[in-house]
């Protein structure tokens, strides 16, 4: 769900004419003009229903985690196996203990009730306060297949690192509590939960945190629902994002497992960014224009 914040920050950047500004500070509502933009582009009804109600989504998730388990077994048996992105590993993996790197939101935690409440209330503008309130409830459920997979990994001696763009420190305690209550493997000191702005590896993108982990572990798998869960530099055009996927073609389904998320993600902000100034006044027009007709 933090990707919604990233999308929002992209819109903020569009408004400001600067592509690299961070999202709003915790506890603040977005400027009114940006709320209107987000609201107008917030057609999430079908996507949210699909994730909450469809048997197809459940089946896709169960299949993804079944694949992840198969690949984890292969990785454990192959000492040469390392899932780190090209260029992010700073020390050799040989001899290091095994770990996996996973995103949290819409990878193993289900935040669809947050989206559903916004839709029901016809109040779809995003605010960090509303998001923080949802996180503070600590009531996100586990997504289908997730709990069994991560517990299996931990039983095999694989350290599970939750690398999430939820904010440190504002969302740290609630996130750890939520994961623990569901039964996900979390260290007593919470050290395997690494949020954005974690002092051990501060940075907006996840690459710095992945590198920090890779100094201590051989990385067997990565799991996420967003391209940024696997690579840095994904805030580029839709075409360039496809190039990034193609360049890493052999990773998908082997070392990197992408979970489906049709509701939100950096794919959406890429479309709006490509649209330029018009994204501010009519984001849905931008999306219709992006449709491929043949
Ligand atoms: Mg996610």
Taking only the tens place, the pLDDT of each residue in 116-146 is 998 888 865 677 899 999 999 999 999 999 9
Distance 115 CA to ligand 1 centre (A): 14
pLDDT at 123: 62
Mean pLDDT (the chain) is 88
Q: Residues 104, 166: contact at Cβ < 8 Å?
A: yes
The pLDDT of 213-234, averaged and rounded, is 98
pLDDT at 126: 75
Whole-model pTM: value is 0.87
Q: Residues 97, 219: contact at Cβ < 8 Å?
A: no
Name the band, by pLDDT with cuts 50, 70 and 90, for residue 108. Answer: very high
Name the band, by pLDDT with cuts 50, 70 and 90, for residue 290. Answer: very high
**Percent of the chain at pLDDT above 90?**
78
Q: Regarding the domain with residue range 2-289, which homologous superfamily does it belong to in the CATH classification?
A: HAD superfamily/HAD-like (3.40.50.1000)
Give residue-wise pLDDT tens across range 62-83. Answer: 999 999 999 999 999 999 999 9
Distance 225 CA to ligand 1 centre (A): 5
Q: Where do the structural domains in the chain lie, given as residue ranges? A: 2-289
Instruction: Tell me the residue length of the chain.
Output: 294
pLDDT at 121: 85
Distance 224 CA to ligand 1 centre (A): 6
pLDDT at 4 over 70: no
23-27, 31-35, 251-255, range with the lowest pLDDT: 23-27
> What residues does 221 pair with on adjacent strands?
100
Distance 2 CA to ligand 1 centre (A): 7
pLDDT at 236 over 90: yes
Q: Residues 267, 238: contact at Cβ < 8 Å?
A: yes
Distance 202 CA to ligand 1 centre (A): 18
């Amino acid at each position: 769900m933090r990707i919604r914040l990233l999308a929002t920050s992209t819109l903020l950047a569009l408004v400001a004419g600067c592509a690299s500004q961070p999202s709003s500070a915790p506890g603040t509502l977005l400027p009114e003009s940006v709320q209107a933009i987000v609201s107008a582009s917030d057609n999430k009804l079908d996507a949210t229903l699909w994730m909450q109600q469809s048997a197809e989504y459940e089946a896709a998730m169960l299949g993804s985690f079944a694949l992840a388990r198969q690949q984890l077994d292969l990785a454990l048996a192959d000492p040469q196996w390392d899932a780190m992105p090209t260029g992010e590993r700073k020390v050799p993996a040989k001899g290091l203990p095994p770990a996996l790197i996973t995103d949290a939101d819409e990878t193993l935690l289900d935040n669809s009730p947050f989206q559903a409440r916004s839709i029901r209330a016809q109040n779809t503008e995003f605010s960090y306060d509303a998001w923080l309130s949802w996180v503070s409830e600590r009531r996100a459920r586990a997504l289908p297949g997730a709990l069994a997979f991560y517990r299996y990994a931990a039983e095999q001696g694989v350290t599970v690192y939750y690398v999430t763009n939820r904010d440190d420190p504002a969302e740290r305690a609630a996130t750890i509590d939520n994961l623990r209550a569901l039964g996900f493997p979390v260290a007593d000191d919470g050290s395997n939960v690494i949020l954005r702005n974690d002092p051990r590896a501060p940075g907006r993108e996840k690459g710095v945190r992945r590198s920090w982990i890779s100094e201590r572990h051989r990385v067997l798998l990565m799991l996420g629902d967003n391209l940024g869960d696997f690579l840095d530099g994904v805030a580029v055009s839709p075409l360039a994002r496809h190039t990034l996927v193609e360049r890493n073609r052999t990773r998908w389904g082997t070392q990197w497992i992408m979970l489906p998320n049709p509701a939100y993600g950096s794919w959406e902000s890429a479309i709006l960014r490509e649209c330029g100034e018009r994204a501010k006044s009519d984001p849905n027009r931008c999306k219709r224009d992006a449709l491929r007709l043949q």
